[in-house]
A and B are shown apart, each in its own frame.
Chain A
Amino acid sequence: LLRQQEPQQHPWEPGKQTPPPTRSHRLSLPASFAKMATEGLHENETLASLKNEAESLKGKLEEETMFLHDVLFHQVAERVEALGQFVMKTRRTLKGHGNKVLCMDWCKDKRRIVSSSQDGKVIVWDSFTTNKEHAVTMPCTWVMACAYAPSGCAIACGGLDNKCSVYPLTFDKNENMAAKKKSVAMHTNYLSACSFTNSDMQILTASGDGTCALWDVESGQLLQSFHGHGADVLCLDLAPSETGNTFVSGGCDKKAMVWDMRSGQCIQSFETHDSDINSVRYYPSGDAFASGSDDATCRLYDLRADREVAIYSKESIIFGASSVDFSLSGRLLFAGYNDYTINVWDVLKGSRVSILFGHENRVSTLRVSPDGTAFCSGSWDHTLRIWA
């Protein structure tokens, strides 16, 4: 580095004149050094200014959202009739899993279900008769995700194998279901959730590697990936909207994020939970979604208002909510908890309608049937129950 000093033309004498402005050393540097030096300076300035800009925009966004929040849910819901006595009982108990049940999904025929468990077994049941129709043993334990294909002809599942595999369902006794298995999704950590889109040919997955992804079943090709969560993604749900192009995911970063399936961009994000979000489910109209979290609360987020609009919690409920789903009309929210119970919430009034006992260990999964006549809960007590 060469330093060249400008010849001083005005010698400075203390007390006599104002000191001349400090002359910057004009450095004659090799080009690359110059670039690096200025970039470093530039970067610090830009980082700070970016941070300021981001924070100011966030502030403005929050202000605007608050400004539009002109009324509370319970005020509006005052004129809705309160719900009467509520009786739901276990109508079927499905026994057959040798270990914790982790996930389940309904078939569109309103009576068949698929369930997966810690010991790697995936079972398809006609839950009306409680008969088992198919069983597959996965090569891994903790099969945390399973889904029924819209046609009813296949199932998808995955877990600690970091993959999502599709099994066509066959009644041919000579055929081993595992033989026709298709490995579709590949993540770099556990598979936490999976769902078919409107057809048997696409699967959406969520993973402990912090991403969600959309896959073509036939070829296993990755069609779109969704990055943005800061930690494991634990759950997802596809929007019922008529234009069908979004989905919501929840993760260990306490965030629920809404994604555009086509572009891979995050459209909206909500961060009001105090702990991991274990389950997300759209309200039947598609204008909102509910979430269940380890912070022992369930919350309702409105997509048009862009904010949380209700919290479902009670001081006596201190265990995490693992799984949530709405009744057909969206009036009731069923939530399974880690304290072995299922709490039924009045979505509009925010109050708890009923508490259902029966399971002897954590409730890990809960889904309402496609026609809303019942819901199914799966538990670490190895059983599934149908409630109506």
Chain B
Amino acid sequence: MERMIVSMQDPDMGIKMRNQRLLITVIPHAMTGNDIVEWLIQKYGISEEESLHLGNLIVKHGYIYPLRDPRSLVLRADESPYRFQTPYFWTSTKWPATELDYAIYLAKKNIRKQGDLIEHEKDNYNLLHKRINHTWDFVVMQAREQLRAAKQRRKGDRIVIDCQEQAYWLVNRPPPGAPNVLEQGPERRNCQTTRVQLTKNMDYYKREIEYCRKAMARTRVKSSICLEGYIKFNEQYVPHDPIMSGCLPSNPWITDDTTYWAMNAPTVPTPTKLRVERWGFSFSELITDPLGRAQLLEFLKKEFSAENLSFWEACEELRYGEQSRIAEIVDSIYQQFLAPGATRWVNIDSKTMERTLEGIKTPHRYVMDDAQMHIYMLMKKDSYPRFLKSELYRNLLAEAVIPPETKKRVFPFMRKQRHSSPSPALLLPAGDTEEKSRGPTASPVPEEES
């Protein structure tokens, strides 16, 4: 903000400042609200709306203050006069705006003109009077002294100083209900390790070396190839992006019609064309969509390799499951898929099988990682391409629906009734802890009411 303020005051490229008339007094080095808005539009190539918004923030932060109606830190895009705040009062100088300073300021206002205090200032004045009563004589004395010194200045200067102070205190003691622009949220940099970690000791450098060595060992891809990736991804997915391309029949948030959600629910009898097409983008798309996964299972059954998918699902359950059930799940996987003669024995290469069987002796969450990856890659590289060429998939594509666009309503201003839907949390009775441990396999989400 200060950088912006400084360039606004640049003698050549900044805002042209003139004398502004405030009733009968002339205030030098001032500008109009319009000047500010116009300058911002020109300098940053932004719209009037954005310029006004930005200008308003600058005023709210006290970097520019109004000369007319100084009690309201608002930018008006008209002939209202404004002035730049003196750097002495900038928020970055972080003067501790003490109670004493505030008391003196309020006392000055009170003495100069009875009843000149704004509501919240009156309340604050009374509060302070109570709280720092012991120094009140000092407060009043300071106030009188400052007022006396001010009387010796030109009226124009007096007005400016008053407005400067008013703006400063509006920022530092905002009226109740007004946003406090100085509020930053909880303090950061609490972390003790900052001090410890920044000590560039041997451990620090050892870690750096380790990190660099690993990074060097990793293959990095040329920018031209990476960036091509974005172009390709963009081409593929933009038609599926409701915000970019709209969605059929309509976006529920815009038309209040939830048919789109009903037609794309996790399990529907007939999926939409876009959805079935998406299964062809990558194996990951197929397997993460519960409906796609179900179709994959059907296909694998035909190829007598359905156990691969079941194995993969069981491994996911292990990876994302409860810590206390790890040994149990590992054993179950072993019994079903890996033990010699198991009913759904999976075909893993001997090295991986050996490693896995060894690892099972001390079961942990990641013990199936290698085997799981092997089977995943098998499905991805082997079964998936065949799936895409299969009759099953071709039929799905042929039968997939393209929903017709919702006809524009005859009376668009009459809002359609917004129906509620059953919460996913309702699916299970509250006390049913057994089922509550939801695994990573697709959890059924309630169908939409039509």
Contact = CB atoms under 8 A, between A and B. Distances in A.
Contacts of A386: 253
Interface in B226-248: 226-231, 233-234, 237-238, 240-244, 247
Nearest to A144: B186
A340 B61 CA distance: 14
Nearest to B242: A373
Contacts of A383: none
A319 to B, nearest CB: 8
11 contacts: A57-B212, A58-B208, A71-B224, A111-B421, A218-B437, A329-B238, A332-B241, A332-B244, A360-B179, A373-B252, A388-B243
A211 B192 CA distance: 11
Interface string B205-233: 11011011111101011111111111101
Contacts of B198: 230
B191 A71 contact: no
B424 A53 contact: no
Interface string B428-442: 101000001111100
A341 interface: yes
Interface of A is mostly: loop
Contact of A76 (B227, B251, B283): B227
Interface of B: 1, 3-4, 40, 43-47, 49-50, 53-54, 57, 179, 185-186, 188-194, 197-198, 200-202, 205-206, 208-209, 211-216, 218, 220-231, 233-234, 237-238, 240-244, 247, 251-254, 258, 260-261, 264, 282-284, 287, 316, 319-324, 365-366, 369, 373, 376, 418-421, 423-428, 430, 436-440, 443, 445-446
Contacts, number: 326
B226 A243 contact: no
Interface stretch (A1-9, A10-18, A127-135): A127-135
A108 B445 contact: yes
A123 to B, nearest CB: 14
A128 B229 contact: no
Contact of B212 (A54, A190, A388): A54
Given A202-B320, A328-B243, A243 B251 contact: no
A292 to B, nearest CB: 15
B252 A197 contact: no
B322 A142 contact: no
A128 B252 contact: yes
Given A287-B226, A348-B230, A355-B47, 9 more contacts: A126-B421, A170-B425, A211-B193, A242-B284, A302-B226, A331-B244, A339-B57, A355-B50, A371-B264
Contact of B216 (A57, A202, A285): A57
A373 B252 CA distance: 8
B185 A210 contact: no
Contacts of A267: 214
Contacts of B253: 91-92, 128, 373-374, 386, 388
A94 interface: no
Nearest to B438: A151
B237 A357 contact: no
Contacts of B424: 107-109, 112, 151-153
